[in-house]
Amino acid sequence: GNSVTQMEGPVTLSEEAFLTINCTYTATGYPSLFWYVQYPGEGLQLLLKATKADDKGSNKGFEATYRKETTSFHLEKGSVQVSDSAVYFCALVNQGGKLIFGQGTELSVKP
């Protein structure tokens, strides 16, 4: 079946550090891949997406590349800020249109 696995949190970084949050997936066919961000007490916001292999999604300094050969979609940012503290969800949409989430990774950035 289809599934998404993310690295466990919490991830704690100092401001301006490099961020990587690993995400791997299992899917039949060619899913679209997403990263969503959830700030405390709020709903989910779309951060970036990629719809085919080798696509790179980017937004607000975050990037992720759709790697079919490793079934991965790792989230990266070169220099994190305190305001990036949130929970990050990796997700895929399969050909049935169902959105399948990873369990989320909490990021805490300290000044």
Binding residues for another protein (CB under 8 A): 29-32, 34, 36, 41-46, 49, 51, 89, 93-99, 101-104
C-beta of 16: minimal distance to another protein in Å?
28
Residue closer to another protein by CB (options 51, 81) is 51
Residue 81 φ then ψ, to 5°: -120, 160
- Distance separating alpha carbons of residues 106 and 64, to the nearest angstrom: 17
Residue 80 φ then ψ, to 5°: -80, 155
Residue closer to another protein by CB (options 34, 109) is 34
Angle at 21 between CA 35 and CA 54, to 5 degrees: 60
Residue closer to another protein by CB (options 14, 51) is 51
C-beta of 37: minimal distance to another protein in Å?
11
Nearest to 52 by CA among 73, 23, 77: 73
Residue closer to another protein by CB (options 20, 95) is 95
C-beta of 66: minimal distance to another protein in Å?
12
Cβ(31)–Cβ(87) below 8 Å: no
